[in-house]
Structure 1
Amino acid sequence: MTDLGELGLSSYEEKVYRTLLVTGAATATDVSDASGVPKGRIYDVLNSLKSRQLVHTQAVDPTRYVAEQPSTVVDRLLAERTAELQQEWARYRDVANSVRSNLLPTLPADGSIWLGTLGSEEMQTALEEHTRTATHSVHATVGPPYESAPWKPLKQEVNAFFDGAQPDVSVSLLVSEQVLETVPETLFDVPEEHAAEVRIRVLPEIPVSFDVIDQTITTIDIPHPQMSADRIGVVAVNDSNVVDEFERQFQELWDEGVPLPE
């Protein structure tokens, strides 16, 4: 395909236009003879070029056709192609939106699942190792299933949580009022050697328990399908979009929380 063909001229249109550049003003018959475009097609081709403002006519008898300046023709052809491509882009965008709406909203996030009931040895070990990965911050909410559970499993997991915390890590805990009502007041008393800073705030209600480590990984408790006082496990996610969303949610909840009375 020629360059003019790339810009949208048919082979006949290109032949006629190039012929007119050489001949100057010419009748349709002259253009047909000089270009080799059949007489049965010459008027269709000339009229097409005229409608696109690539040639113009002189008011004489017989009508003569004149080619527009090449720079003008190239600009007009480029404008046509640009408009066509914009229309194609809009069409493909609509198709993509339609396809997207019929598929899953996002791909599954990178992560893993730790199976383990509340206070179990495997969950204590997993929780301690998880907290140990923190290098500067741990943000955590404490709500269900701890609200309905005996305080002993909660104590075991709180101990495992802080056993894993490094001395230079800052820990921020959001605890629901219902949790505080069902556990000893000393449950969240934390020795100074466990973390550089431990802040605790209270909210009337926390819908789900989760944590965010160093703003790079989050874990979310999976409620047990049959027992409100237990969990079936914890899902750990390191997809940055998911982690950022949970960190944002934590900060909003934190702003609403009230500091735990000393």
Structure 2
Amino acid sequence: MATTEAERLLERLDLTEYERTALQELLTLGRTTAPDLAEATGIPKARIYGVLDKLVDRGFVELIPERPKKYQPKPPGEILDRAVENERQSYEQSRAEIEEIRDEFLDTFGSLYESAAADVTPTEELFAVVDVGDPSETETRQLYHEADDQVQVLTKSFEYFPSIEPAFADAVDRDVDVSVLFVDPELLSAENRPVQQDRVESLRSEYPSVGIRFSEEPLPWRGTFADPSMDYDTGTAILLVEEKDVPLHKRKAAVTENGSFVAGLSRYFDLIWEHESNSNPF
């Protein structure tokens, strides 16, 4: 097995780097002493006994009381079984500790929460606000993964597409109807035009089922809308408004699950798509 593959598997056991290295070498060598293992792995001799003690405590390695002491790895199947048991015990301990403070926690924070909730207005519940960048891209990926029927995208050049492409592909593979409405390239800056052209070529090549059109006018906002309903009972959206004088890293995006609002965004999208867009500006 390649070293990188072995490391990937051992990382799932929640081990430190030294512990992963020691366990991997033990599984290769079999029974050995701590000094020999330190020499084979490069783990400092001052650290090797502590590393091995941790592996013994977790049930992955057996201590052989010989002179000198030797260490032997458990069979791989037993290591996995023990890892599961360790996680179960950790969960049960954490659960018991939380239950111990339940009454005190509820007494302390229950009235505070109810008082704060009473002051929330419907407008405050309409949106959640996230930073543009990693947070907004995380929300967008989740939107694609959770979409059941339809996703609509309003974008200038889809420059963030590489960061959300796996989620985008997942939606397409599940036969979600995906449509992307770009801004006409004539309305873009010289810097954004080649980015948009690259994204369009990639979409047409890799995702031929995705609908693509180009808005003939600038768009006041950009975003992604999933599963809108004219019954106003479903839908999720993330959007941001056009702010020409605000750097992208200082902008905020709004996330909403308000079915009425998402339906309105979807209707706007449909009107532009049907009456104020073209299919091939290049």
TM-score (norm 1): 0.46
Structure with more contact order per residue of length (Cα contacts < 8 Å, sep ≥ 6): 1
